[in-house]
Structure 1
Amino acid sequence: MKILIAPDSFKESLEALDVCRAIQSGFSQVFPDADYKLLPMADGGEGTSAVLSYVLGGRWKEVHVHDPLMRPISAKYLLLPDATAVIEVAQACGLHLLTVAERNPVIASSYGVGELIADALREGVKRIIIGLGGSATNDAGLGMLTALGMRFHDSDDNMLAQGGGALANLQRLDATSFHTSVLETMFEVACDVTNPLCGELGASAIFGPQKGASLQQVNDLDQALNHFASICEQHGYQNYQEIAGAGAAGGLGYALMSFCQAELKSGFDTVAKVTNLSQHIADADLVITGEGKLDAQSAMGKVAGGISHIAKARLTPVIAICGSVDGLESAQTSQFDIIMPSIQKLESIENIFKNAYHNVEITATNIAAAIKLGQSIK
């Protein structure tokens, strides 16, 4: 029996590869001779680089960059053997880099993301995959583009300060020093967010509060983003602000489309293509996936839902192991042959996270035992 194990990470408790190993360990207690294929997955957010490194190899490059408050830090990205770089924006402008008190999208900058891209271009890459997610910024890529040589000026012809608030003062763009290799490089953006740049569903309104913005700041930032897009359009850049995903990572989706001719794709679809997921599913007799919390959003496009869709099309049975299940409709549960939450007992969230590996392992053993029992019943 060929078993493909392809889960997402369990946030705050297990990396995707650890989930794979826990499931294999549990299943092996019942089916020790099965042929196991471990294929940790991601949806384009944090952890995507680690998944692709495990599956495809490559080497890590550590770079000195600036964090959202322009403090020096070290960040890393992945260089794949086919001249592709994989960059997660959270490495340089992630919310996790700031304390709660430091969160302020009015001044937070994506400059470090541009520094990572510039370094990858110096390495001679031909393609850059960028994972959007977990950013602390709302600057529409102002910092990133500045690091790549673009110059932004106010009405007095002074250079703009960093941060989303500064966008309101933009009057003129100067692309004279923009990195020449940008337009010679293919940019693929892995994004699982469909928000436009501005408005009630835009970057500021939906994600601004969790990044530290007050209600007034949300309104100001939204107007600043709209002004930025308007000025960019006046300078000949295509206006992508209504395109799904433009508001991802505080407007980095918009900037990458407008200035780098990037193509925004589903994060899961991007990872699935690079890892040749469809072929692995075709080769399997059973697929096991999962994530920390299986809910309606998961079933409609995250890792577990995406895998179930491919598996069902190939008539391959698929099992989902998760930490918990919440709010699934019957039509969504039917995507899977089995859905099994792994939490073994009621305890504190800290202990649930601590015991996640053990819980997943036990759950996998129980599922395997049930399958074996079913095989023996006549």
Structure 2
Amino acid sequence: MKFVLIPDSFKGTLSSTQICEIVTGRIEKHFPGSEIVSIPVADGGEGSVDAFITAVGGEKISKKVKNPYFEDMDSYYGLIENGQTAVIEMASCAGLPLVEGREDPSRTTTYGVGQLMMAAARRGVKKIIVGLGGSSTNDGACGAAAACGAKFFDADQREFVPVGGTLSDIKSIDLSGMNQALKNVEIVAMCDIDNPMYGPAGAAYIFGPQKGADEKMVSELDQGLVNLAGVIEKTIGKDISQFPGSGAAGAMGAGMIAFWSAELQMGIQTVLDTVNFDDLILDVDYIITGEGKLDSQSLRGKVVIGIAGRAKKQKKHVIAVVGGADDNEIREVYDMGVTAVFPINRLPQDFSVSRKYSKENLAYTADNILRLIKSKM
């Protein structure tokens, strides 16, 4: 038999790779000799580069860049598809863990992300995938753009590299110096949220507090994004502030569109395209996927639904193994291509208790699913 394993992580308990390993062990017990294809899912945050390399092969390239406070640090990006595609996770040089104990989105930068993009482009890649997740920033990608040759000027025509707290000082942007190495590179940003650039549902108000912003700073950051959106509109002739996902990663989503004409794409769709999923499942018997909690958010195109949509076109069986499921919110999943949903928790326990037994519970659930499959053969 052929199985394709492509689960999202169970946040706070099991990584996507761990889930693949546990389920693989159960399959090998019940269906020895089966073909098992494991595809750890990358969501754009920390671990995305490793996930892509594990899924399709490739190499990790080290690069010294600037961290969120413009200090030198060792970072990396991935090269896959015979060096034709680069994978960058912005968390690797602009991530929240890098500023632990000194969180301040009014001062942090995405400059290092731009340096990674330039390094990849100079290697001759045809495509760059940028994961927008886990950022400590709120600079609208201005730092990254500056690293790629964009120039930002204040009211006195002085050039500067904007950070979250100085976006309001931007009066004009010159994109004519953007490095030519990136000109013919396809750029895709992995983005799983649809928040606008600013406003009550925007980057500052929704994500600023978890990055260290108090109420006053949130308001100031939001005003900075309003100003940036206006200057961008004057520069490129397009208002991108309400574009779904423009508020991702401190409005990095907006900057990706404005400065690089990038496509914002749901992370799972990026993964599926990269691993040639549609061809991979042509002869598959079962696809096993899953995520920590299946709820109304899942229906917006995240991992399980993204996979089910592709599989449904080929009438393939999709089994979702999940940490928990809200039955009232997920009835639609069966019409969207999911064959069956199996929560792993066996006893009525609080998450603080059950999380300690996630490995055992997952193995037990996978074992029973496979026993059922075997009984029907």
Task: Give the structure-2-normalised TM-score.
Answer: 0.91
Provide the rounded CA distance (Å) in 2 between the counterparts of 1:237 and 1:165. Answer: 25
- State the shift of 1:347 in Å: 6.7
Partner of 2:156: 156
Whole-Å Cα distance in 2 between the matches of residues 227 and 247 of structure 1? 14
Residue 77 of structure 1 deviates from its aligned partner by 0.7
**Partner residue, 2:232:** 232
User: Structure 1 pair 40/283, CA: closer, same or farther in 2 (3 Å)?
Assistant: farther
Alignment deviations for residues 40-92 of structure 1 (CA, whole Å, 9 cap, x no partner): 22344443322221222121111112222223222111012142111111111
User: Is the counterpart of residue 131 in structure 1 residue 143 in structure 2?
Assistant: no
1:305, distance to aligned residue in structure 2 (A):
1.4
The answer for the alignment partner of 1:90 in structure 2 is 91
Checking the alignment, whether the CA contact within 8 Å between 1:43 and 1:268 is kept in structure 2 is yes
Paired position in structure 1 for 2:367: 365
**TM-score, length of structure 1 as denominator length:** 0.91
State the match for 1:274 in structure 2.
Answer: 274
Q: Distance in 1 between matches of 2:92 and 2:314?
A: 37
Q: Is the 8 A contact 1:45 1:267 kept in 2?
A: no
Q: What is the alpha-carbon distance in structure 2 between the residues aligned to residue 313 and residue 93 of structure 1?
A: 38
1:284: which partner in 2?
A: 284
Greater Cα offset, 107-116 or 229-238? 229-238
Residues 127-183 of structure 1 deviation map (CA, whole Å, 9 limit, x = unaligned): 111111111111111111121222212223333354211010112323454322222
- The counterpart of 1:338, out of the listed 317, 333, 340, is 340
Instruction: Give the whole-Å Cα distance in 1 for the aligned partners of 2:103 and 2:366.
Output: 40
Gap change, CA 1:161 and 1:126, over 3 Å in 2 = closer
Q: For residues 287-310 of structure 1, give each alpha carbon's deviation from its aligned partner in whole angstroms, at most 9, with x where no partner exists.
A: 111122222212331111111222
Q: How far 1:319 moved relative to its partner?
A: 1.0
1:247 matches 2:247? yes
Match for 1:153: what amino acid? F
Post-superposition shift, 1:365? 0.8
Uncovered stretches (5+) of structure 1, i.e. residues with no partner: none
Q: Deviations over 1:98-136 (max 9, x none)?
A: 22x422211111111111112112222221111111111
CA distance in 2, matches of 1:305, 1:126: 29
**Deviation for aligned residue 1:187:** 1.0
In the aligned structure 1, how far is the partner of 2:12 from the partner of 2:157? 46
1:215-239 superposed Cα distances (whole Å, 9 cap, x missing partner): 2222221111111121233234533
Mark the CA change 1:151 to 1:24 in structure 2 (over 3 Å): closer, same or farther. same
The range that moved more, 154-163 or 141-150, is 154-163
Correspondence 1:27-46 to 2 at 5 A: 27-46=27-46
Structure 2 counterparts to residues 127-276 of structure 1, below 5 A = 127-160=127-160, 162-175=162-175, 177-236=177-236, 238-276=238-276
Correspondence for 2:323: 323
Cα distance, 1:350 vs structure 2? 6.8
Q: Which residue of structure 1 aligns with residue 109 of structure 2?
A: 109
Q: Does the CA contact (< 8 Å) of 1:44 and 1:270 recur in 2?
A: no
**For residue 96 of structure 2, what is the amino acid of its counterpart?**
L
- Per the TM alignment, residue 320 of structure 1 is displaced from its structure 2 partner at its CA by 1.0
Give the 3 Å change call, closer, same or farther, for CA 358–74 of structure 1 in structure 2.
farther
SS in 1 for 2:281: helix
Mapped contact 2:295–2:330 kept (Cα < 8 A): no
Q: Which residue identity does 1:94 align to in structure 2?
A: G
When structure 1 is superposed on structure 2, of 231-240 and 110-119 the one drifting more is 231-240
Mapped partners of 2:326, 2:68: distance in 1: 34
Q: Secondary structure at the match of 1:343?
A: coil
Give the aligned length.
Answer: 374
Segment drifting more, 110-119 vs 336-345:
336-345
Alpha-carbon spacing, 1:33–1:183, altered in 2? closer, same or farther (3 Å): closer
Amino acid in structure 1 at the alignment position of 2:52: L
Distance of 1:248 and 1:293 partners within structure 2: 21
1:56 aligned residue: 56
User: Residue 14 of structure 2 aligns to a residue in which SS?
Assistant: coil
Partners of 1:78 and 1:328 in 2: CA distance: 40
Deviation at 1:323, TM superposition (A): 2.0
Q: Is the 8 A contact 1:6 1:289 kept in 2?
A: yes
| C-alpha distance in 1 between matches for 2:19 and 2:330 | 26
Structure 2 contact 191–264 (Cα < 8 Å) conserved: yes
- Give deviations 1:188-246, integer Å, cap 9, x for gaps: 11211212212222211221222222222222211111111212332345332221121
Equivalent position amino acid for 1:7 in 2: P
Partners of 2:294 and 2:330 within 8 A in 1: no
SS at match of 1:115: helix
Quick one: which amino acid aligns to residue 216 of structure 1? K
Superposed CA RMSD: 2.3
The amino acid across from 1:339 in the alignment is: V
Unaligned runs of 5+ in 2: none
| Residue range with higher mean Cα deviation, 46-55 or 134-143 | 46-55
Q: Which amino acid aligns with 2:300?
A: M
AA matched with 1:9: S
8 A Cα contact 1:141 1:252, kept in partner: yes
Summarize the Cα distance change of 1:344–1:96 in structure 2 as closer, same or farther, 3 Å threshold.
Answer: farther
Q: Which residue identity does 2:342 align to in structure 1? A: M
